[in-house]
Structure 1
Amino acid sequence: MDEAGLQKDRVTVSPEMSAFVGAGVVDPAALPADGVILCFTLGKDAPAHVTVTTGVVPSGEQAVLVLAVERGACLRVFDYAPDADLACHLPSELRLIVAAIRDCVLPEPWCNTHRSAKCIELLSTTFQRIVEDDLVPLAGAGQLSARDSQRIVAAKRMIDERWGEKMTLDSISRACGLNRAKLTRGFRDMFACTVADALTDRRLGAARQLLIATDLPVSSIGYRCGYLNNASFTRAFSRQFGTTPSSLRAPRLAA
């Protein structure tokens, strides 16, 4: 049987919410009449994105995961329900949750429980990012071609996944097959920040987690996160978080 004849695996999260996982199609009869439909793709043939619609799964959408939630439940739980269709790039945080749902290998009944919990996390996080205007619309690529948009998304993914390595604008542009100027302009258009800002955010975010969760020396954490000396690490960290690395750690050590 070809993919068009397959039905996605259905996960009943609650009486008001279902998830449809994997290849194939969603049975329209399984969708709520007045529902919010979120379709997640992971970037096989296009940039990873989420499409939000009302009542139907968009035709031709190659989603690996579809969430269908009754509108009333969205309003009751979140005091929010999308009132217009939208399509946005999928940041790494959401891609990881989608992948965890799709790729779960636990046997039943643990698989269903795991997927249900992750679906609730995914819905909550996606709605939060939409409300806070923290997702980049697919149209944000401006005049970029679809291929160049994919390359810029790949550059962001490279930063998200390999932030601990030595990376420069030149090395990222070479790895993604774009010249510096196009990468710089496109990255700012799609993600509302520079390549350097995105890399700094990832490195300092990781440093903050290490300061909170480990007893590694401050200088070692700075070096792990790409800073060659403690002074430059402290300056960057203080600008980002309004406190020095040592001050952040001090309350935990005192306790």
Structure 2
Amino acid sequence: MDKKLPLGVSPEFTSFVGRGPCDRALLPPDPVILGFGDIGEPAVSVLQAPDLDGHANDHLVVFAISEAACLRLFALLPKPEGRWYLPADLRGLGRAVVAVEGEGEVPDILRSARSLELLCQLFAALGEGRMVEVGGATTLSEDDITRVAAAHQIVNEHWQERLTVSSVARRCGLSKEKLTRGFRELYQCSVAEAVSERRLQRARQLLAQSDLSISSIGYRCGYMSNASFTRAFARRFGVVPTEMRRREMTA
């Protein structure tokens, strides 16, 4: 049987990509092993070493990072045998680790960089309590959870469009009631709040990285008036856009 492609990102972190078992000889010391399902499956699991010859074969991405590195870099360890639903943005990063184009050394360099990004984003989400445990307090079936995760990805990718609960529900094959309940259970927000968060985060990025006017940024991020943009931004970040830009420039 073919083995997964190993990427020695650092002496404390190895990423394995593809089908088949992982080469145990390449594991870091005292590894925390994380399996990302089949990427289409919206879950990440903490695996045990015996899983590397069986259960992990079908995982397209497996991370092995030493406990010491987890504690030093992220100040936390995932709980043993934990399993969490992956937010759409993390699933997108997982797909980016697998789907790499190029020749020679370029694909491995890209996979290593994207593996580091996915690892950091995953631990940030765990540390901030944004990861919903599989088997936790949810009324949704596994199929519905997959559809809600797809809806969340629609929000992340198409936030500039005029998204409504009805339109998103139709696109992911859920009723409006189930989509609304699913967002509350998995992401602790409404669809409208998720869209607003995505727009405001993009606005904050543009304030820091561009010289566009405040009104232009607001319009690009879906706000029809400067007043509505300013109010929404201040509610979210505690300061108006002009003050945020001033802080970013002097930081």
Corresponding position of 2:230: 234
**1:22 & 1:42 partners in 2: Cα distance?**
10
Output the amino acid matched with 1:123. Answer: L
**1:83 & 1:152 partners in 2: Cα distance?**
25
Say whether the 8 Å CA contact 1:42–1:95 is kept in structure 2.
Answer: no
Say whether the 8 Å CA contact 2:155–2:195 is kept in structure 1.
Answer: yes
Deviation digits for residues 37-70 of structure 1, max 9, x if unmatched? 11114543x3x22111343437445321111123
- For the residue of structure 2 that corresponds to 1:25, the secondary structure is coil
Superposition CA RMSD, Å? 2.6
Deviation at 1:137, TM superposition (A): 1.7
Corresponding position of 1:248: 244
Say whether the 8 Å CA contact 1:210–1:216 is kept in structure 2.
Answer: yes
**2:185 & 2:249 partners in 1: Cα distance?**
42
The correspondence for 1:57, drawn from 32, 35, 51, is 51
Output the amino acid matched with 1:226. Answer: G
Indicate the larger mover: 163-172 or 242-251: 242-251
- Structure 1 pair 231/102, CA: closer, same or farther in 2 (3 Å)? same
Say whether the 8 Å CA contact 1:17–1:68 is kept in structure 2.
Answer: yes
Deviation at 1:144, TM superposition (A): 1.5
Deviation at 1:30, TM superposition (A): 4.5
Deviation at 1:195, TM superposition (A): 1.1
Output the amino acid matched with 2:228. Answer: S
The reply to whether residue 176 of structure 1 matches residue 172 of structure 2 is: yes
Corresponding position of 2:145: 149
Matching of residues 6-17 of structure 1 within 5 Å: 6-17=2-13
Deviation at 1:82, TM superposition (A): 2.7
- Structure 1 pair 210/51, CA: closer, same or farther in 2 (3 Å)? same
- Structure 1 pair 43/77, CA: closer, same or farther in 2 (3 Å)? closer
**1:195 & 1:142 partners in 2: Cα distance?**
17
| Unmatched segments (≥5 aa) in structure 1 | none
- For the residue of structure 1 that corresponds to 2:51, the secondary structure is coil
- For the residue of structure 2 that corresponds to 1:12, the secondary structure is strand
Corresponding position of 1:20: 16
Say whether the 8 Å CA contact 2:39–2:94 is kept in structure 1.
Answer: no
Deviation digits for residues 80-137 of structure 1, max 9, x if unmatched? 3334221112224433432332223344444434433433333233223222222122
Output the amino acid matched with 2:6. Answer: R
TM-score (norm 1): 0.85
Say whether the 8 Å CA contact 2:45–2:81 is kept in structure 1.
Answer: yes
Deviation digits for residues 185-213 of structure 1, max 9, x if unmatched? 11101111111111110011111111221
Deviation at 1:253, TM superposition (A): 7.1
- For the residue of structure 2 that corresponds to 1:105, the secondary structure is coil
Q: How many residues align?
A: 249
Say whether the 8 Å CA contact 2:39–2:95 is kept in structure 1.
Answer: no
Identity %: 41
| Unmatched segments (≥5 aa) in structure 2 | none
**2:38 & 2:225 partners in 1: Cα distance?**
38
TM-score (norm 2): 0.86
Say whether the 8 Å CA contact 1:89–1:137 is kept in structure 2.
Answer: yes
- For the residue of structure 2 that corresponds to 1:122, the secondary structure is helix
- For the residue of structure 1 that corresponds to 2:19, the secondary structure is coil
